[in-house]
Amino acid sequence: MSAPPIIKAMGLTVEFRGRRSLFKPESVVQAVSNVDLTIEQGETLAVVGESGCGKSTLGRALLRSTPIAHGRVEFKGRDITRLSGRALRDARSQFQMIFQDPYASLNPKMSIYETLAEPLLVHGATDRASIRPQVLDMLSAAGLDPSFAERYPHEFSGGQRQRVAIARAAILRPDFIVCDEPLSALDVSLQLQILKLFTALKQQFSLTYLFISHDLARVFGFADRIAVMYLGKIVEIGTAADLYRAPAHPYTRALIAAAPSPNPHRDIPPAAATLRGDIPSPANPPKGCRFHTRCPQVMDVCKTREPTMSDLGNGQRAACHLLTQPPMAG
Amino acid sequence: MRRSATSVFLRRNALGLLGLTILVIVALAAIFAPWVAPYGPAKIDLMARLAPPAWIDGGSLKHLLGTDNLGRDILSRVIYGAQISLSVGAGAVVIGALIGSFIGLLSGYFGGIVDAALSFLVNVQLAFPFTLLAIFLLSTFGGGFTSVVVVVALATWVNYARVVRGQVMSVKNQEYVEAAKSVGVPTDRILRRYILPNAFSSIIVVASFSMAQAILTEAALSFLGVGIGSATPSWGTMLNDGRSYLQNAWWMTAMPGVATALTVLAGNLCGDWLQDRIDPRLRK
Amino acid sequence: MSDAVLSVEGLSVDFAVGGSIIHAVRDVSLSVAQGEVLGLVGESGSGKSVTMLSVVRLLDARRTAITARAMSVDGHSILDLRPRALEDVRGPVVSYIFQDPLTALNPLLTVGRQISEGMRRHKGLSRTAARARALDLLRRVGIPAPELRINQLPHQLSGGMRQRVMIAMALAVEPKLLIADEPTTALDVTVQAEIVRLVQSIQREQGMAMVWVTHDLALLARLADRVVVMYAGRIVEDALAEALYDAPAHPYTAGLLASTSRIDDPFSEQEPIPGAPPDPRVVHPGCSFAPRCSRAQARCQGEVPALEIKADGRRVACFYPLTGSQT
- pLDDT digit string, tens, across residues B225-255: 787 765 678 888 888 888 888 888 888 889 9
pLDDT surpasses 50 at A154? yes
Among residues C174, C197, C226, the one where a domain terminates is C174
Same structural domain for residues C155 and C205?
no
Last residue of a domain, one of C119, C140, C174: C174
Q: What chain A residue is nearest to C278 in terms of C-alpha separation? A: A157
| pLDDT for res A288 | 92
CATH at C247 = 3.40.50.300
Q: Which among C227, C119, C104 is positioned nearest to C165, based on CA atoms?
A: C104
- d(CA B106, nearest CA chain A) in Å: 19
The answer to whether C240 contacts chain A (CB < 8 Å) is no
Does the residue C310 lie in any domain? yes
**B179 chain-A contacts, CB cut-off 8 A:** 97, 99, 105-106, 165, 168
The Cα B193–Cα B198 span in angstroms is 9
The percent of residues above 70 in pLDDT, for chain C, comes to 98
- Shortest alpha-carbon distance between residue C50 and chain A (Å): 17
Distance CA(C50)–CA(C66), nearest Å, equals 10
Which residue of A155, A189, A231, A279 is the best one to mutate when testing the C interface, meaning the one whose CB has the most C CBs within 10 A? A189
Minimal-distance CA residue of chain A relative to C275: A190
Please, are residues C282 and C276 in contact by the beta-carbon 8 Å criterion? no
Nearest CA in chain A to C220: A262
d(CA C110, CA A111): 48
According to DSSP, the β-strands at A309-311 and A317-319 are antiparallel
Q: pLDDT at position A273, please?
A: 65
- Is residue C6 one of the residues assigned to a domain? no
**Gyration radius from chain B CA atoms:** 23
Q: Interior CA angle at B59 toward B58 and B65, to 5°?
A: 150
Report the candidate in C286, C295, C205, C210 with the shortest Cα–Cα distance to residue C248.
C295
CA dist., res. A300 & res. A323, Å (int) = 15
Residues C322 and C191 in one domain: yes
My answer on whether C170 and C184 are in the same domain is no
For B189, the closest chain A residue by CA position comes to: A122
Give the per-residue pLDDT at B9. 67
B8 contacts in chain C (CB < 8 Å): 19
- Residue C76 in any domain: the answer is no
Helices (H), chain B: 5-31, 33-36, 74-110, 112-127, 130-141, 145-171, 175-183, 187-190, 196-223, 235-242, 251-278, 280-283
Q: Which residues of chain A neighbour C164 with C-beta distances below 8 Å?
A: none
Region of poorest pLDDT, from A271-275, B265-269, C165-169: A271-275
Which phi and psi (to 5°) does residue C229 adopt?
Answer: -105, 130
Q: What is the pLDDT of residues C147-200, one digit of tens each?
A: 888 999 988 888 888 888 888 888 888 889 999 999 888 788 888 888 888 889
- CB-CB neighbors (< 8 A) of C222 in chain A: 260, 264, 268
How many Å from the N-terminal Cα to the C-terminal Cα in chain C?
A: 32
Residue at A211: amino acid letter: F
Report whether pLDDT(B279) > 70.
Answer: no
Which residue of chain C comes nearest to A295, CA vs CA? C190
Residues of C engaging B, defined by a Cβ cutoff of 8 Å: 17, 19
Strand partners, A7: A39, A75
B167, B171, B175, B187: best mutation site toward chain A, by most A Cβ within 10 Å? B175
- The DSSP-derived string for C226-282 is EEEEEETTEEEEEEEHHHHHHS--SHHHHHHHHHS--SSS-GGG--PPPS-PPPTTS
A262 contacts C245? CB cut-off 8 A: yes
For residue A242, the model assigns a pLDDT of 92
Contact A104 B180 (CB under 8 A): no
Q: Where are the domains of chain A?
A: 7-18+27-94+174-324, 106-171
Contact C143, C161 (CB under 8 A): yes
Burial A233-269, CB ≥16 within 10 A → b, else e: bbbbbbbbebbbeebbbbbbbbbbbbbbbbbbeeeeb
> How many of the other CB atoms lie within 10 Å of CB of C15?
17
A204-213 pLDDT tens trace: 999 999 999 9
Homologous superfamily of domain range B13-283: MetI-like (1.10.3720.10)
CB contact under 8 A, B5 and C19: yes
* SS3 sequence of C117-133: HHHHHHHCCCHHHHHHH
> Do C281 and C215 belong to one domain?
yes
What letter represents residue A109's amino acid?
Answer: K
Dist. CA B147–CA B126, nearest whole Å: 20
C105 to chain A, any CB pair closer than 8 A? The answer is: no
In chain C, how many domains are there? Answer: 2
- The answer to whether B65 touches B53, Cβ cutoff 8 Å, is yes
β-pairing verdict for C70-73 and C20-33:
unpaired
Residue C63 lies in a domain: no
Last residue of a domain, one of C148, C174, C200: C174
Pairwise CB contact (< 8 Å): C19 & B9: yes
CA–CA distances in Å: residue A97 to residues A118, B98, B114:
15, 35, 29
Q: Which residues of A touch B198 (CB under 8 A)?
A: 107-109
| Record: contact B8-C19, CB cut-off 8 A | yes
Q: How far is CA A98 from CA A161, A212, B241, C302, in A?
A: 11, 10, 67, 40
Q: Are residues C199 and C307 in the same domain?
A: yes
Contacts of C16 in chain B (CB under 8 A): none
Q: Indicate whether B281 pLDDT > 80.
A: no
Q: Does A228 touch chain C (CB under 8 A)?
A: no
Q: What is the pLDDT along chain C (327 residues), one digit of tens a residue?
A: 447 899 999 999 998 877 778 899 999 999 999 999 999 999 988 999 999 999 888 887 778 889 999 998 888 888 877 777 777 778 778 888 888 777 788 888 899 998 888 888 888 888 899 999 999 989 888 888 888 889 999 888 888 888 888 888 888 888 899 999 998 887 888 888 888 888 898 899 888 999 999 999 989 988 999 999 999 999 999 999 999 999 999 999 999 998 887 777 777 778 889 988 888 878 888 999 999 999 999 999 999 999 999 888 899 999 999 975 444
Please provide the DSSP assignment of B225-256 as one string.
Answer: T-SS-TTS--HHHHHHHHGGGTTT-THHHHHH
Residue B284's pLDDT is 36
Using a pLDDT cut of 70, give the percent of chain A over it: 93
Q: Which chain A residues contact residue B182 at CB under 8 A?
A: 63, 65, 92, 96-97
Question: Which chain A residues are Cβ-neighbours of C263 within 8 angstroms?
Answer: 216-217, 220, 244, 256, 259, 261
Specify if C28 maps to a domain.
Answer: no
In a domain? residue C26: no
pLDDT of amino acid C1: 44
Task: Let me know: does A141 contact A204? Beta carbons within 8 Å.
Answer: yes
Long-range contacts of B209-212 (CB under 8 A, 24+ apart): B209/B159, B209/B267, B209/B268, B209/B271, B210/B92, B210/B93, B210/B96, B210/B97, B210/B156, B210/B159, B210/B160, B211/B89, B211/B90, B211/B93, B211/B267, B212/B89, B212/B263, B212/B264, B212/B265, B212/B266, B212/B267, B212/B268, B212/B271
C259 and A274 within 8 Å at the Cβ level: the answer is no
pLDDT of residue A271: 57
Is B9 at the interface with chain C, CB within 8 A?
yes
Quick check: C277 and A189 CB within 8 A? Answer: yes
Grouping H, G, I as helix, E, B as strand and the rest as coil, residue C57 is: coil
Query: Residues C89, C152: one domain?
Result: no
Which of the listed ranges A127-141, A224-238, B55-69 does the model predict with the highest average pLDDT? Answer: A224-238
Predicted local distance difference test score (pLDDT) of residue A279: 82
pLDDT band for position B6 (cuts 50, 70, 90): low
Q: Give the whole-angstrom CA distance, residue A65 versus residue A263.
A: 40
Q: Show which of residues 43-72 on chain C sit within 8 Å of chain A, judged by CB atoms.
A: 43-44
Please give the Cα distance from A26 to A21 (Å, whole number): 7
Q: Are residues C86 and C225 in the same domain?
A: yes
Please state, rounded to an integer, the average pLDDT across all residues of chain A. 89
CB pairs under 8 A between B and C: 4
Q: What is the pLDDT of residue C290?
A: 94
Residue A159's SS3 state is: helix
Neighbouring subunits of A (3+ Cβ pairs under 8 A): B, C
Q: What is the dihedral sign for C-alpha B13, B18, B23, B27?
A: positive
Q: What mean pLDDT value characterizes chain B?
A: 85
Q: Give me the pLDDT at residue C143, please.
A: 85
The CATH code belonging to domain A7-18+27-94+174-324 is 3.40.50.300
Q: Name the residue among A260, A257, A262 with its Cα closest to residue A275.
A: A257
What residue spans of B37-129 are helical by DSSP H? 74-110, 112-127
- The domain containing residue C152 runs over which residues? 100-174
Confidence of residue B8 (pLDDT cuts 50, 70, 90): low
How far apart are the C-alpha atoms of C30 and C70, rounded to whole Å? 11
Q: Are the beta carbons of A263 and C245 separated by less than 8 Å?
A: yes
Answer yes or no: is pLDDT of A289 > 90.
Answer: yes
Q: Are residue C191 and residue C320 in the same domain, yes or no?
A: yes
Does C104 fall in a domain? yes
pLDDT at B38 over 70: yes
**Cβ contact (<8 Å) for B198 and A109?**
yes
Answer yes or no: do C211 and C295 share one domain.
yes
Compute CA distances A164 → A60, A63, A135, B134, B143, whole Å: 20, 21, 11, 53, 56
Residue C317 falls within a domain, yes or no? yes
- Kindly determine whether residue B179 and residue A168, on different chains, have CB atoms separated by under 8 Å: yes
Q: Which of B58-62, B101-105, C164-168 has the lowest mean pLDDT?
A: B58-62
**What does the domain layout of chain B look like in residue ranges?**
13-283
Whether the model pTM is above 0.80 = yes
N- to C-terminal Cα separation, chain B: 21
